[in-house]
A and B are shown apart, each in its own frame.
Chain A
Amino acid sequence: MDQLKKYLQITVVLGAFGLLVWVKSLEQGTGSREVAGSLPPVSGPGGLPPAGFPDMPATLTPAPTPPPAATPAPSQPRGKYKDGTYTGSVADAYYGNIQVRAVIRNGSITDVQFLQYPNDNQTSLYINSQALPILRSEAIQAQSAQVDIVSGASDSSAAFRESLGSALSQAV
């Protein structure tokens, strides 16, 4: 139920944002309009890239159904929205603030970027988790430095089951 509530919150926030985009489009592009496609990469708080909401059912997305891919981009955009990039206001989603920016192309929302999203409490971890590309990799290599402690997989849970007490008696 809690999750449902959260989804509801997100729906409200995104829904309100969708409304905002729509209103802006009626206003014929006010001061917040920018050129689409020239945005710097947005970084979320704590250096994390902005997250999507992968666990959110697709039906909660406020974007209108995009036109089929085969539709050629008309020179006269005929979607609901005016092309541009729009920044929403900061919304309190009760577990943190959410602020999004939408990119409209050919009258449809083509991208929603999260300028602010909660990432510092455990509730929002659930929402923010999504796959990221792995940035770097390397072949493992032996190191020779002196260390204080070694971290490795003991058969930890099995080992714990096998009784910490017996280990303690050896360790004392």
Chain B
Amino acid sequence: MPVSVELVDPWATAHDAGAVFGLLDDIDLRFSTYKKESEISEINRGKRSLRNASDAMKKILDLSEETKRVTHGYFDIRHDGIIDPSGIVKGWAILEAARLLRGRYLLNFAVTIAGDSQVSGRNCTDEPWRIGIENPFNRKELIKVLVLGNGEGVATSGQYIRKGHIYNPKTGQTAADIMSITVIGSDIYEADRFATAAFAMGKGGLAFIERVSGCEAYMVGHDKQASWTSGFDRYVMAE
């Protein structure tokens, strides 16, 4: 899974990028369900109780609970008795990385993990960041170009890479109503969690995003038709 940290400020150093990778590494060590020794794995094995969880773990569980509530239960990190917080951790981790960089007096950067990005300031040509939305039917193509100049986050949730990675917690079935939904949020944490939930909602996800203040979305259906929320246009690059 590609991680990219682009630092534009002339005073940025390799130490800044290193600090981000270190932070993400720590987060991964704690939250990866694929690492036997991670805290989340110990919790899932019953080796560690939630009461004795670290503050970071408690924070993520709280955020997950809150997200479950505001998404009408469409976002749920608990499946079959196992807690898998990756759906919330990714956006949160990217946002933490951005906060770390701001704390190091950096203003212009982009942090991207596997297609989900947090931008800040402007790009290396001193323009707003340009984000392309990938064609879910052909990964080599872009179907929309977004212009983000206010530190937004953008996340895409979809089914087209690997079938069945997002479940509709209401039915236990794979969510497959739509091909993809791209959400622009005031930050990547918002964009990512609501993109995941909206995707699980299927066609109703767009109406959900319409109601989420600060978020806009572009949804692609199986018929190659796209629809979008009322404020999405302002992010689209003029042709």
Contacts and interface: CB of A to CB of B under 8 A. Distances in A.
Interface of A: 2, 46-48, 51, 55, 119-120, 122-123, 125-126, 128-132, 134-165, 167-168, 170-172
Given A143-B142, A157-B166, A128 B211 contact: yes
Interface residues of B, number: 83
Interface in B193-223: 196, 204, 206-208, 210-213, 220
Contacts, number: 212
A156 B134 CA distance: 14
A126 B70 contact: yes
B237 A145 contact: yes
A151 B225 CA distance: 18
B212 A134 contact: no
B50 interface: no
Interface of B: 1-4, 6, 18, 21, 24-25, 27-29, 32-35, 66, 69-70, 72, 84, 86-87, 89-90, 93, 110, 112-117, 119, 123, 129-139, 141-146, 154-162, 165-166, 180, 182, 196, 204, 206-208, 210-213, 220, 224-228, 230-231, 237
Main secondary structure of the interface of B (DSSP, over half): mixed
A17 to B, nearest CB: 22
A157 B115 CA distance: 12
28 contacts: A123-B70, A139-B225, A140-B143, A142-B142, A142-B143, A143-B132, A143-B145, A147-B132, A148-B6, A148-B131, A149-B112, A149-B117, A149-B130, A151-B115, A151-B117, A151-B155, A153-B136, A156-B165, A159-B1, A160-B1, A160-B32, A162-B1, A164-B27, A164-B113, A167-B114, A168-B28, A171-B4, A171-B21
